[in-house]
Structure formats: structure tokens, C-alpha cells
Amino acid sequence: MAQQVSVDISRRNGSTDLPGAESCPSCKQLLDVGELEANLKVCYHCGHHFRLNASERISQLVDAGTWNEMAGNLRSADPLDFFDLRPYPERIEEAEFATGFSEAIRVGTARINKMDVVLAVMDFSFMGGSMGSVVGEMFWRAAEAAVETRYPLVVVCASGGARMQEGILSLMQMAKTTFAVDMLGEAPVPFVTVLTNPTTGGVMASFATLADVIISEPGALLCFSGPRIIEQTLKEKLAEDFGLAESNLDHGQIDMIIARPDLKSRLVQILGMLEGGVACALQPLWEEEARPARRRGALAQAFGRIKAIANAPRRAFKR
């Protein structure tokens, strides 16, 4: 019988502020901060992926100087006059102060390896990356921008789920973002999500799993109900790999796991292939190859067409 071990959640959390040297939460090795930063915040001993905030993610992912932020002036309101141990506006202010961002998502246009994209990046350090009205609206605007510009939409997810302080309105963001994804599908514009540690709850059960291609970082916790909720409500001991990206891949819930150093190039490759699909379908390469050239110039014509097809996805990168 397989031995089941309870999941230590704290072990998975990479700290984001590193003083001088940091020990890897996974392999416990001491790491030099400078080297860690140079290695994209991936442990150079064991490959543990530290958590990134939105700014770090954007600077890692996009070509220098191409980030063009949109709708950065949206702020959460307090529609329910929510007060638990502290009022909701106070929690927002604190998160704004701690992170320097106004919300748990940042949206903009950018270039990734010279390819134009609309990029949305969620930030777990802002109230657990929780989805409230602003995150829903920003996602909608990102989708709208993608449809308008016909650039693919890339969303880097990191979220604990719906934001409780906005109550039912947070739940409704799951519905709202679903309609946004539907809009992308009708265009159609490629939509790829990159799930990072952790992506759970309402975000996982809405746009994160509705993407055309779902990518994950290694070791990310991806689930609807978190390990704590399952252990508490069902008194069920969980396997050590419960909800991890690797387990999700085994169970067919995501397309692939890509390590951070490869993310940029693989992402562009996948988007290029999705975009190139239209051109390839119009000019079937295989028929030209199978049919012998009968008249003069037909061969040259065929070559020209093959060349055009070969260039089609690349055209999307060069602008």
C-alpha cells in the first residue's frame, strides 16, 4: 500500500523577498541571490521555481522596452462594505503598499521574441492573487484588446481563487471571464495560459482551464479545492504530489510543463504554430509534394508556395 503523507503547504511557497542569501525551500541549499536572479529565480541546485511577482514575470518574459501597460488605473471598490477583522479597503491599501501594484493582475501589450501579444500577469503577492471585480474587468479588457489587435492572449495565472471580500460579485467574475474566452474563440485568437504556483479555486475553474493550450511551471499547485480544504472537510490524507503540475499532466488536465528558462521560446513557438494553422490549412503542403510537376514553371510555383508556407508562422514574429 502506498504510504500517504500529508501535504506541507509551506514547503511549496518560495519566498519573494530575498536578503543576500536564501535557502531553497525544496533542497535547503544556500543560494546566492544574484545568481538566483540571473537564473530567473529557479534554484540552480534542484530546479525549484521561486514565486515571481508581476513585475519580475513581465521583465523575464517580454522583450526589453516593449511592455505597454493598459488600464492600470482600475481600483477595487468596496461594494459590500465588507468588514471581517479589518475593513476590506484597509486590506487593499495594505496590499497596494506592500506590492506597489493597484491590483492582482497587470495587463498590457508586449513583444515576446519579437512576437506581438496581449499579456496579462497575475500576482499572488496582492491578496493571494484573488479574483474580484477588477481582475474580471481587466481580463475582459485584455480579451477585447486581443480580439481587436488580433494578437494572441497570454495569461500568466497565480491565484488562490475568488476574492471573498467582494462576495457573490467575485463568483460572477468566473461567468464574466468565461464570456471573454468565448469572445476570443469566436474571433478566433489564440489563448494560452501559463499556470504558476499556485493556481486554484475560481480562477482554475474558469479562464485558466478554458485556454486553447494550458502550460504549467514545474511543481505548481493546480487544483479547484486546495489541499487544506480537502484535508479539513473530508479528513482525507493526501498523496504528496496531490494537485502538482506533474500530477495534473499525468491525469490529462494540462498540455505541458515548461521550465522557466524555456518558457519564452516555447511560448512563441506554440503561438506561432496556432497562428500559422490558418495559412497551412489554406495551402496544403502535402498535396503539392505528392503531385508530380507536369508543366514548366509548376515546380517553381510549388516551391514558391512552400516557401510562403514556411515563412507564414515566422511572419507573425517579425513585424
Contact footprint for other proteins (CB under 8 A): 73-77, 79-80, 82-85, 132-134, 136-137, 140, 162, 164, 166-176, 178-179, 181-183, 201-202, 204-210, 222-225, 229-230, 233-234, 236, 238-239, 242-243, 247, 251-253
**Residue placing its CB nearer to other proteins in the complex, 238 or 279:** 238
Q: How far is the CB of 178 from other proteins (least distance, A)?
A: 4
Give the chain's end-to-end CA distance (angstroms, integer): 57
Rounded CA separation 88/91 (Å) = 5
Q: How far is the CB of 69 from other proteins (least distance, A)?
A: 15
Q: How far is the CB of 236 from other proteins (least distance, A)?
A: 6
**Residue placing its CB nearer to other proteins in the complex, 18 or 77:** 77
Closest CA to 260 of 60, 21, 113, 109: 60
Q: Determine which helix (DSSP H) or strand (DSSP E) holds 243, and give its type and residue range.
A: none
**Residue placing its CB nearer to other proteins in the complex, 62 or 244:** 244
Please state the separation of Cα 138 from the chain's center in Å. Answer: 14
**Residue placing its CB nearer to other proteins in the complex, 103 or 116:** 103
- β-bridge pairing 115-122 and 105-112: antiparallel
Q: How far is the CB of 143 from other proteins (least distance, A)?
A: 11
- β-bridge pairing 30-32 and 21-23: antiparallel
Q: 69 phi and psi, to 5 degrees? A: -75, 140
Q: How far is the CB of 85 from other proteins (least distance, A)?
A: 6
**Residue placing its CB nearer to other proteins in the complex, 81 or 287:** 81
Q: 152: exposed, middle or buried (C-beta count within 10 Å: 0-12, 13-18, 19+)?
A: buried
Q: What is the DSSP string of 175-196?
A: HHHHHHHHHHHHTT--EEEEEE
Q: At 285, is the secondary structure helix, strand, or coil?
A: helix
Largest separation between any pair of C-alpha atoms in the chain: 82
**Residue placing its CB nearer to other proteins in the complex, 51 or 176:** 176
**Residue placing its CB nearer to other proteins in the complex, 67 or 140:** 140
Q: How far is the CB of 137 from other proteins (least distance, A)?
A: 6
Q: How far is the CB of 108 from other proteins (least distance, A)?
A: 17
Rounded CA separation 314/65 (Å) = 21
